[in-house]
A and B are shown apart, each in its own frame.
Chain A
């Protein structure tokens, strides 16, 4: 049971290029598809992300979109994958870590959608 009063969700939306890939070296046990609410949210996030990307200088090896994508609608960044994380309360937190994602290419764009209780998100480089 997940307590909705203290839960925080982080939905990482990203674009993965490779068909043979693993998330942090683990084999996913089953195929789950975006629920309809996530599909709706993803369309809104895509619009905002692409608008932001237009304002930026692009890196030489950065993914430039798939012109052959029939659903692409001319968008450079299309999310086709989501890593969903759920934290129940302040006790549930992970320390500094980096996800071993090798199939999202150099300079990947990742949208992180946060829902629920306020939560500290720390980055370092």
Chain B
């Protein structure tokens, strides 16, 4: 077959015909294999089916070893048949089977030679949960530490910790008092904000209202009235 001067499309078709039906490689990997084997379709087909096997086995072993916390080298001994399910079944034969598939794999797994003690996997949630917070993470700032609220009881503390300044007693006592009672009287008519939250009409536990300053001189009063109506 090597001697026949076939065009690339024919060669690709030949490789496909040599592969089992369940293997459908991409055009690129077919071409790669062809280049590697210098146009030998049989060798190319062999390479592709081997690649498939390898990648399959790799993926299985890596997930398996991650879930059971074992080293990669010890996994090779058991091969691809040592799936998580079979291990789950074999390590807890006395326990109630988790599912029908578990019981069916128990027999297969018990036939395998267990060359090492394996920690039983009782709760998958324990393995799959978030890693615990470590002191080193906090130090390097990789995760946000939960700190209690910082109490800023005087203006200098406010200035130090926030982009704000705190001015105590900014208004003369008489004006502060007058403003307080003026606004308190006004507040009787302020509405409580209402909005929809998860299909329920909720009401804010405070009253609020909006005020606009007296229109500046030179500004069209009608236009200014329009502004506030849109708020």
Contact = CB atoms under 8 A, between A and B. Distances in A.
Contact of A31 (B167, B184, B187, B212): B212
Given A86-B183, A116-B180, A92 B206 contact: yes
B213 A80 contact: yes
B226 A19 contact: yes
Interface of B: 149, 162, 165, 167, 170-171, 175-176, 178-184, 186-188, 190-191, 193, 204-214, 216-218, 223, 225-231
B206 to A, nearest CB: 5
Contact of A84 (B149, B162, B181, B208): B208
Given A1-B188, A34-B213, A42-B213, 18 more contacts: A2-B184, A9-B180, A23-B231, A29-B191, A33-B212, A33-B214, A38-B183, A41-B175, A70-B218, A80-B212, A81-B210, A81-B211, A84-B186, A84-B190, A84-B211, A85-B206, A88-B206, A94-B204
Contact of A86 (B167, B176, B208): B208
Contacts, number: 148
A35 B186 contact: yes
Contacts of B214: 33-34, 39
Contacts of A80: 212-213, 216
B231 A92 contact: no
Interface residues of A, number: 53
B212 A32 contact: yes
Contacts of B210: 23, 28, 32, 81-84
Contacts of A88: 206
Nearest to B229: A31
A20 interface: yes
Nearest to A69: B216
A19 B206 contact: no
Nearest to A66: B216
